[in-house]
Each structure stands twice: as C-alpha cells, then as structure tokens.
Structure 1
Amino acid sequence: MEKEHKIVLVRILASALLLGLSYIPSFTPLATVLLCVAAYIIIGGDVVFKAVRNIFRGEVFDECFLMSVATLGAFAIGEYPEAVAVMLFYQIGELFMDVAVDRSRDSISRLMDIRPDHANIEDGDGTLRRVAPEEVPAGTVIVVKPGEKIPLDGTVVAGNSSLDTSALTGESMPREATDGDTVISGSLNLTGVLKIKTTGTYGESTVAHILGLVENAESGKAHTEKFITRFARYYTPVVVLSAVLLAVVPPLLGAGEWALWLNRALIFLVISCPCALVVSVPLTFFAGIGEASRRGILFKGSNYIEALARVRTVVFDKTGTLTNGSFTVTGVYPVEGVAGETLVDTAALAEIYSDHPVAAALRGAASQAPDKSRVESVENFAGEGIVAYVDGKAVYAGNDRLMARAGVSPETPAVVGTVVHVASEGKYMGHVVVSDTVKPQTAEALSGLRRAGVERTVMLTGDRRDVAESVAHELGIDEVHAELLPADKVELMENIINVRRGQGTVAFVGDGINDAPVLKLSDVGIAMGAAGSDAAIEAADVVLMDDNPAKVAHGIAIARRTLAIVKQNIVFAIGVKVAVLLLGAVGLANMWAAVFSDVGVTVIAVLNAIRAGRRLQ
C-alpha cells in the first residue's frame, strides 16, 4: 500500500476510534461533542479545506462542497455522530476508489515497463559502451545481452536467442530470433547475445510509439464520460438549489418546523452527491484500456472503446492483414516424367538474378541454394517472364505469353495464385504456383467476429480479383472488392459507412501506407502494430501489437463488456439516488441512508468497475 493510502487509513482508524468513544454513556455531553469534533477534524478537515479553496477558485458546486455543507449543517442541528459518520464513510469510499485506480494504473505501468534503460555499443577494442537509446543513430550495430530489453528496432546480424514479447503482444510464448530476423524494441532478450543493426532512431521505434499511445490513451474521452462530466456540472447546482428550497419553502408554508426541514435538506444534500457516477465511469474505461493493453490491444482513447463496442461491420485489407504479406510456393505441378524438385530448382535457377518477390519465393523453395555458375545469361521479357541459359539450355520461366514465345502449350493452373510456367529446350516441364498465404489466425478471427455479433465482413484489396475471391471464399467473407487503388478504397469505404449508417459503427483493419486514409475515414481504424507502416499506426484508433487479426474480436468483447459495466453503474447509481432522494425529501430517509446512497453506492460501483480490468476467458 502506498504511503498516501496508509495515512488515510490511519486517519480513518483514529476517527472511528474517537467516534466509538463518543458513544460511551459515562462521558458528559461536552466530552461527547469534543470527541466528535476531534474525529471530524481528523477525517473531514481536508475535505472542508478543499471546499473553501475551490470556492475561492470559482469551483463551488463539487462533492467537497456538498459534503462540507451537509456535515457542518448536521453539527448545527446537533447530529454530531452522524456528521462524523458521513465524512468517515466518504473517506472510506474515496480510499476504495484510489486503491482501485492505482491498481489499474499499476497494471498498465507493469505491462508497459518496456522503456529501455540503455543501449550497448561495441567500441573498436571490443568493450561495450552504454549510451541512452535516444543517442543511437539509425544503422548502428548494438549488442543486447541476456536479460536486457531490446532498445531499438532492428535486424539481427549475429547471434541467436529467445525473445519475450509478452509486454508488446500479450503472448507468453517466446519467439526465436536469429541472423536476418527483424526484432522490435521492448522485447526482452532471454538466452543469447544478439548483435542488432538498428533500422531507425529511438523516436521511430516500436517502444516509443507504444509508450506514446498509452500515455495519451485518455486524451480522447468517450461520449459517456463527457455526458457524466456535463451531468455533474449542471446536476450539482440544481440539487443545492433544491435543498435550499426544501429547507425554506415548507416552513414558510407552515408545513413544519425549520429544524425538521433543515435536517431533511441536509440529508437531501448528502444523498445527492454524484460520486458514484463521476468516479466509476472513468475508472471503468481505464480498467478496460488496461485489460486490452495486457492483450496487446492499444486504444488511443476511451472514446474508441465506446465506438468499437458498437461495431457491426468490419472491413479488412487483405495483404499483411488477413494474409502474411509474403509470397511462398503453395503448389508444384510437374508434367509426367519430371520430378517436382527438379521443376522448382529449374525455376529458381532461371530467376536467380531477379529481385521480384515471386523469384525470391522460388529460390527459397529450391532444394538447395541455386548455383550462379550454372547460369550463363539471362534475358527479361517485361510482362512475360525470364529466359535464362542454364547449363547451356534455354529455360523459360513465366506466364502464358512467354510459353507461346517458347513454342509450348502450358497446362491450365490447378489453383488460384501467381503461376510460373517452366519450359526447357522446347519442352513444357510444368508450373509452380506462388501465392500470399492466409495467416493461421485469420479463420479464428472471422469466426470470432461472427460470435461477437458482427453482421457483415468486407475485404478491400488491390490484388487480382481471382486471388481476392479465392481468399474471401476460403474465409467466408461476405463481400469482396478487388483491383483497387487507394482512392478506390476510400470511395468504397464511404459507401459502406453511408449504407450501414444507423446499423452500428464500421471498423477498418489494415497495415499499409495506402490504408492510412481509410483508417482515418472509418468509425474505428485498427492497425497492425508490428508489421504495419508508421502511417497506418498514426492514422489508427486501435493498434494490434502482434498483427493477429483474431484480436479484433477480443477487442470488441473487451469494449462491449466495458460499456455494459458503465451502463450498469449509471443505471444503478441514478436509480438509488432518485429513490433515496424522494424518501429523504418526505422524511423517510435518515442520515445513515444518505451515507449509503452516496458512499455505499460509490463503493459498489467502483468494485463493479474493476471487473472491466479482469481477464476475459
């Protein structure tokens, strides 16, 4: 427990002890009053001080003002123990609330304790020099030892190790890193020493982006939070005026004594304090943001929790979002008499000097690294493919038009994808299919969205129509639009939002620079945080730190639970307030009922709010 909480707890115990002593029958009335005054000063002195200070600042109608007027008025009519009890329970409620907020804040702080302390740079004599991560230029080779956080994004140039990325992605399974692998800052190096060539400065790193998101997460307030703020601003002066009228009008009309109606007015003031609403609603959103962060889902503001909770349509980019964004060989179809391995190796040799992603996929699928010495010359035919002389033989690798140039008739492709036909010395050898594969979590993502109540899924892509429709059919996506330019995506997204208006919000999930305009346009923009471009992350409202599309459904579930708890607290708090206010106005609620309707309701609402930070199964 923090020092401030311990001090409040000591004050609560001291005040409760003095209040208990005041009930001893042998004490004189004066001693009882003095004990109650001492107890009140200990437990409520700071509240009265804040009320006076705020009055001089022009902030009159706040909870401190209500509590001070009500309790000092109780003293004025001789209700000494009740006055102390009101302050006592109020401070207990505030302590509960402060502890709950600190727990939520600490959970986020522990989760986001990824800020690197230093970076190690190796000097010419082999010694390591520690510098601040902000001082490391892009392109510098840094050394990360076991137990240290990776300070900047980069590529491993030497060493291999296991990395703990749980603080970034929410996944506990370590990831292996070896030569050539891209690693992100904030990951914890577990086993081996890594030498990493940085790909950017600290300000451009993943960890800097994440910390910025979390630190600014409360900058955008939800509509519900704004409503509560406005509600409290107008509600407080209204109830103060009502209390004054309650104290003055009935006696003037001869409906009772002044002391009776003054007592009821004071009880009315205590009941009316809107602590439960003002405290529990922001706390619920804060707890929801904390739970999402632990899952590797970062919200840029609580307003996006509210928007995501109402999502009924989810629009996806394809490449890098639903698919891995990299080509691999997905099918090998040799003609009779040709081995599949031979077909792929021959295609890889023909493509040995090409920088095209398809060529890289063919070389990666070869049974062994292609030997450049076997390739004598290469001729590229734009839009058709490549002719290479391998071991003195002309090898054709390309599309149907190149096969026509070679004088052979290719087979009809067996599956959808980028097809590379291969011919050698005028004989057709077969074809290889290269395609961007669907992420293993994508099917789970789509089924999770359907379970979450998402009514329609849409895919927008610049890829070929046949490829897009194949992916959409495989995943069960409702609507697909292919061969789109960035401007086309924006136009289609506008149409989708207009058509679906009034049927819930529309979310867009993407990762590329070309997705940034659509991310901005959508009701909720969701970006892939690991492989996503800086432009996409900047434009998005929600960031998925491990590029797992299944976390869209997780985010919706967290958002809906958070908003449901907010609504529960609003209905509960207002319902109890109205009921007890009416009872207090007609004299059927005493000061103890007033204490429960204020402090008791606040404590219950706070405990309910904490549920938003509990892990979903």
Structure 2
Amino acid sequence: MTKKQKKMLQRILVSAVLYAAAIVIKHTIGPAKWVEFVLFAVPYLFISYDVLIKSCRNIMHGQVFDENFLMALASIGALALGEYSEAVAVMLFYQVGEWFQSYAVNKSRKSIAALMDIRPEFANIEVDGKLEEVDPEEVQVGQTIVINPGERVPLDGTVIKGDSSLDTSALTGESVPRSVHEGSEVISGCINQAGVLYVKVSRPYEDSTVAKILDLVENATNKKSRSEQFITKFARIYTPVVVCMALALAVLPSLFDGQWSVWIYRSLSFLVTSCPCALVISVPLSFFGGIGGASKKGILVKGSTYLQDLSEVRTLVFDKTGTITKGNFTVTNVEPVGMNSEQLLDLAALAESHSTHPIALSIRKAASKDLDINRVQDVREIAGHGIEAQIDGQKVCVGNAKMMDQKVPEGNGFGTCVYVSVNGGYRGMIEIADEIKEDSKTAIDLLRHFGVKRFIMLTGDTEKVAQKVAGTVHIDEVHAQLLPDQKVQILDQILKTKNEKEKVAFVGDGINDAPVLTQADVGIAMGGLGSDAAIEAADIVLMEDQLSQIVTAMQISKKTLRIVYENIWFALIVKALVLILAALGITNMWAAVFADVGVSFIAILNAMRALKVDKIRQ
C-alpha cells in the first residue's frame, strides 16, 4: 500500500470503532437525542471531512453533480432527519469502496510499473582506466560503455568485446536468455547475466528502445476506449437526471400526503443508490488491468481503444517476410550464365553492399568475405524491383523479374529468386529460401476460434512462393508481387468493403510496413524488439517475434471486454432494481449502500481478473 492508502485505512478503522461504540451506547444506555447526535457526529466528521471539502470546492468551480455531491447530500439529509446511524454508514462504506478502488488501481498499475523497472539508472564509461557511473542521457553516440554482470543495459549498441547472455523478460515476457557476443546488437532494458560486455553506443538515450517503450506505456491510458468514453458521457447526463428525480420524489408526493420526512428519506436512499461509482470505476479499471496483463506477456498496447478494437477484428492482413516467415534467408541455389557461381554471388553482393534488406544480407553472407566495395558507384534502389549500381564501370541490376529486360527462368524450390543482369544482359539467378515460423499455422488456426473470419497475405514476393506459404499456414487470400504503395491500395479496398462493426488488423514486421500499419484499424508490429518503426507506427507492439502473441493479445482483449460488459450490466440491473424499491419505500438506506458500495466492490474484484492471462486452450 502507498502512504496515502495506509493513512486512509487507519481513518476507516478508527471511524468504524467509533461508529460501533456509538451504536453500542445508543442501544444500551439510550442517551438523550443531542448526546446521540454528538456520538455519531464524531465518526461522521472524521470519515467524511475530505468528501465534504471536495464537494464544496467542486460546487464553487461549477462541478456540482459528482459522487462527492451525492454522498454529501444524502448523508447530511439523513442527519437532518435524525437517521444518524445511516448517515455515518453511507460515508463509512463509501470510503471503504473508494479505498478498494485505490488499492485495485495501484495493483494493476504495478503490472505496468514492472515495465518501468527497465529504466536504466546509470551507464559505466571508462575514464583513465577506471569505471565511472554517468547518467545514460550524457553518453554520446560512438562512446563505449561497460556493462557488468547483473547490470541493466542502459543504451542500444553493438558488442565490441565480451560474451554473455541477456535476460529480456522485462521487454518480451520470454524467460529464455538471449546469447550475445562480439558483433551482436544489444538493446536497452535487458539485464546482463554473465560476462562483462563492452558496447559501442549506436543511439542516444532519447532514441533508445527503453525510452520509446517507457513513453508508449506512460501514455497508454490516454487513449480511451469507446466503452470508457460512453461511461464518461453517460455519467455526465445520468447524475443530474437522478438528482432531479430524487428532488421530485421528495417534493411531489409530499405535496399530496404531507409526509415530508418519509419521502425525503426515500429520495436520499434513491440518491445513494444512483451514485455511478461502480461504472465510472470498474470500466477503466478493467481496461487498465487488460493493458497490464498484456504488458506482462511482452505485448504493448498503446491505449484501451486498441484493446477494444482488437476484440472486433474479423479480417487479419499479414505481411509475409519476418511475420509469417522467419526472415532468415539463405542462398539455396545459384544458376550463373557466362560466369561461375562465385562470380555471380560476388557481383550481386557488391550491388547489395549498402542494403539492409534480409535478402541482401543473405547474399552478402554467401559471397566472398574480402570484396572491395569501392568498386561500387551510383547505387540506386528501385522500389519493388531491386538495386541498380555501377560496378567496375558496368551497369549491374539485381532484383526480381520486373528488373530484367527479358524473360527469366523460374526457380524450382521453395524460395525467392533474385536475378542479375550486366549492361542489360542476363547473367544468372540466385535462389534464396526463407523458413516459415513454427507457430504460424497453429496461431492462424487458433485465431479462427477467436472470431477472425478472413486471412489475407500481402507480399512483394512471387506468386508461386506466396501461394506455397499461404497454403502451408492456411491463409485464404494472397496478393503477391506488390509494390509498397500497392499494399496500401489493397488494404484501402479491404477497409472500404468491410462491415462497419468489424475491424481490420494488419500485422507486419514494423520495418517497412509503416504506411499499412498506420492505415489499418489496428496495426500490429511483429518483432518490435529494437524496431523504431514498429513502436512509432503500430497500435500494438509484440515484443516477441511470434504470431502466437497475437492469439494471446486477442484472448486478453476478449476477456477484458467480457469483464467490462459484465460490470456494466450487473451495476445497471442492481441499481435499477434498488432505485425502484427505494422509491416505493420497500428498501431503506442500507440497501442503497449495498447498491452503491457493494456493487462497486464486486465490480472492482471482477475487473481485477483482467490482470490474469488465462492459458490458451487449443
């Protein structure tokens, strides 16, 4: 508990003791009315002073109709009618409900706050042969930092010396350590478990992975879901309406039968019952719990609106490379024309020497290690086609079939074909294969059980390869050989033809799919670990490069929405029933207290279930 919560709990306990003592004295001694008033006024003022002050302050600022006003009006009215015991009970149980709300919110915040523990406190730099601790924000790009065993990686960079394993669980939810060695990329927020690492910083702190994630999480609750927006608007209209109804209940019948105290008491019970605390508290708390539960599984949701939208996704659109497949390309076949295989690979590697695309990296890996990149000039990338460059004064083109000026052979294997031409003349083909992720097929099958009806794959790869991948993982519809702008156009068509109540999600690797991620109703970035584009463009970032995390995210989304609707209906039904009974005089203020505090308490307990992620049943 926080200090404020402990202090409030002490107030509640002291007030409860004073309240119990007043009841005992009342029923054993039977004191005079003014003595009874004093006995109950002491615990009343002790437990309610802050509510009374807030109510007065809000009235002065024009904010009349809130729960503080309702509780103050009802309890003071009960005191005026001589119902001292019930006046104290209203305030005491209201404060109990508020305390449980505070405790529940604090607990759900801790699941997200656990992610805040990734914030690095210092970075070690070597000065005159000694390690000096400095603020991570003071370290410049290019400087070398030293990370000892047990310390958190403070900045993104590349290992230049040392071998170790990193605990990435705070970022990904994955418990298996990740091995790193010289040349490995490391990201901030992980914990060094074994050896000393010397890391060359590649990005300043404000652009680091940990800074971006913290910013994302800290702002996650700012984007309210439609359910939260509805409850907020509902409460603004609902509260003044019930106050007017309570006033009418107190005045109109009394004009006919003259029983003012009876009808005023009923109207006060009506006011206590009508307090919208259960709705105003439990709905945001449910979404907060859902976001917290997702963060524990390495799923970062940028706001509750996206958590609600995810539950309504019926069409899921995928990128292929790095999403359904691993993106770990390897050269499986080389078919040169007029040169040997090594020469063809070297030529393609030189042309691709400045590219970071997975295909380019695989070609460079298969080529000779000592290539002179100074031979390469005037490199030009042609989107959706390939690379054009001047190598030793010759025009070399490396890319797909669209890049070639003549008909080229198709590959025989399960892979992507890269063609090479020199001065317009065809010089051969390099076939590169990619592996399908182990969980892709299982994840797509499970997503069907969560209500997704349509699966579509958009890829720049060949029709043959795309169809083979789609058939293996049970994807319904394929659009192949697409340029980046064509992916946007197709997604736009899908969005125009969908049902208004259904959502379309796009799943990409977050590196080159930013326009499509932004355009979709829900943009989901795969393998967002260290990817700036993923964190910037996506609505949901999956820190593990696994499709199965979408299943977990969908499960959390549906469970959270189910809890929200349970709380809404439960609160409305109980309150409506007690409001009617209170107006008819069948129930007293104790039932009203249950309809307010009791319902809020039950709704809060139910909302806390959103923090727990259930095991997926296959």
Q: TM-score normalised by the shorter chain: which range applies?
A: 0.7 to 0.9
**Counterpart contact for 1:344–1:365, Cα < 8 Å:** no
Cα separation, 2, equivalents of 1:443 and 1:171: 21
State the 1:352 CA deviation.
7.7
2:101 maps to 1:97:
yes
Q: Which residue does 1:289 correspond to in 2?
A: 291
**Counterpart contact for 2:290–2:611, Cα < 8 Å:** yes
**Counterpart contact for 1:328–1:437, Cα < 8 Å:** no
Q: Which one-letter code corresponds to 2:2 in the other structure?
A: E
2:212 maps to 1:212:
no
Cα separation, 1, equivalents of 2:470 and 2:47: 64
Cα separation, 2, equivalents of 1:384 and 1:549: 31
Corresponding residue SS for 2:329: strand
**Equivalent runs, 1:296-315 vs 2, <5 Å:** 296-315=298-317
Which of 53, 67, 85 lines up with 1:49 in the alignment?
Answer: 53
Q: In the superposition, relative to structure 1, how do residues 358 and 105 fare at CA in structure 2: closer, same or farther (>3 Å)?
A: closer
Cα separation, 1, equivalents of 2:360 and 2:307: 43
Q: Which residue does 1:361 correspond to in 2?
A: 362
Which of 557, 560, 564 lines up with 2:558 in the alignment?
Answer: 560
2:134 maps to 1:136:
no
State the 1:232 CA deviation.
0.7
2:21 maps to 1:21:
yes
Q: Which one-letter code corresponds to 1:144 in the other structure?
A: I
Corresponding residue SS for 2:104: helix
**Counterpart contact for 2:187–2:530, Cα < 8 Å:** no
Which of 593, 596, 603 lines up with 1:595 in the alignment?
Answer: 593
Corresponding residue SS for 2:266: helix
Q: Which one-letter code corresponds to 1:42 in the other structure?
A: F
Tell me the alpha carbon deviations over residues 300-334 of structure 1, each in whole angstroms, 9 at most, x when there is no partner.
1111111111111111111222222331145799x
Q: Which residue does 1:462 correspond to in 2?
A: 460
2:219 maps to 1:221:
no
Normalising to structure 1: TM-score of the pair? 0.86
Cα separation, 2, equivalents of 1:283 and 1:488: 41
**Counterpart contact for 1:22–1:31, Cα < 8 Å:** no
State the 1:574 CA deviation.
0.6
Which of 106, 115, 121 lines up with 1:117 in the alignment?
Answer: 121
Aligned residues: 574
**Counterpart contact for 1:112–1:167, Cα < 8 Å:** no
Which of 218, 235, 239 lines up with 1:236 in the alignment?
Answer: 239
State the 1:546 CA deviation.
2.2
Normalising to structure 2: TM-score of the pair? 0.86
**Identity value in percent:** 53
Q: Which residue does 1:67 correspond to in 2?
A: 71
Corresponding residue SS for 2:506: strand
Tell me the alpha carbon deviations over residues 196-239 of structure 1, each in whole angstroms, 9 at most, x when there is no partner.
12221111111011001001001111111011111111111111
Q: In the superposition, relative to structure 1, how do residues 331 and 609 fare at CA in structure 2: closer, same or farther (>3 Å)?
A: farther
Cα separation, 2, equivalents of 1:398 and 1:217: 41
**Equivalent runs, 1:338-349 vs 2, <5 Å:** none
Q: Which one-letter code corresponds to 1:22 in the other structure?
A: A
Tell me the alpha carbon deviations over residues 552-593 of structure 1, each in whole angstroms, 9 at most, x when there is no partner.
111111011101100110000011010000000000110110
**Counterpart contact for 2:352–2:387, Cα < 8 Å:** no
**Equivalent runs, 1:360-439 vs 2, <5 Å:** 361=362, 364=365, 413-418=411-416, 433-439=431-437
State the 1:139 CA deviation.
2.2
Structure 1 vs Structure 2 CA RMSD: 3.1
Gaps of 5+ in 2: 381-385, 389-397, 421-427
Q: Which residue does 1:542 correspond to in 2?
A: 540
Tell me the alpha carbon deviations over residues 39-96 of structure 1, each in whole angstroms, 9 at most, x when there is no partner.
1011112111111111111111110100011011111111111111111111111111
Corresponding residue SS for 2:121: coil
Corresponding residue SS for 1:616: coil
Q: Which residue does 2:494 correspond to in 1?
A: 496
Cα separation, 1, equivalents of 2:176 and 2:95: 44
Cα separation, 2, equivalents of 1:437 and 1:595: 61
Q: Which residue does 1:32 correspond to in 2?
A: 36
Cα separation, 2, equivalents of 1:253 and 1:37: 33
2:175 maps to 1:172:
yes
Cα separation, 2, equivalents of 1:239 and 1:602: 18
**Counterpart contact for 2:168–2:191, Cα < 8 Å:** yes
**Counterpart contact for 2:169–2:175, Cα < 8 Å:** yes
Cα separation, 1, equivalents of 2:200 and 2:134: 15
State the 1:539 CA deviation.
1.9
State the 1:411 CA deviation.
10
Q: Which one-letter code corresponds to 1:152 in the other structure?
A: L
141-150 vs 63-72, greater mean Cα deviation: 141-150
Tell me the alpha carbon deviations over residues 248-270 of structure 1, each in whole angstroms, 9 at most, x when there is no partner.
0001123x511111110111111
Corresponding residue SS for 2:285: helix
Q: Which one-letter code corresponds to 2:84 in the other structure?
A: Y
Corresponding residue SS for 1:438: coil
**Counterpart contact for 1:344–1:362, Cα < 8 Å:** no
2:7 maps to 1:4:
no
Q: Which residue does 2:329 correspond to in 1?
A: 327
**Counterpart contact for 1:512–1:532, Cα < 8 Å:** no
Cα separation, 1, equivalents of 2:480 and 2:29: 89
Cα separation, 1, equivalents of 2:29 and 2:341: 101
State the 1:97 CA deviation.
0.8
**Equivalent runs, 1:528-539 vs 2, <5 Å:** 528=526, 530=528, 533-539=531-537
Q: Which one-letter code corresponds to 1:301 in the other structure?
A: G
Q: Which residue does 1:520 correspond to in 2?
A: 518
Q: Which residue does 1:277 correspond to in 2?
A: 279
Cα separation, 1, equivalents of 2:489 and 2:343: 44
Tell me the alpha carbon deviations over residues 111-166 of structure 1, each in whole angstroms, 9 at most, x when there is no partner.
3310111112223x322222211122222221111111111111111111110101
Cα separation, 2, equivalents of 1:204 and 1:38: 56
Q: Which one-letter code corresponds to 2:21 in the other structure?
A: L
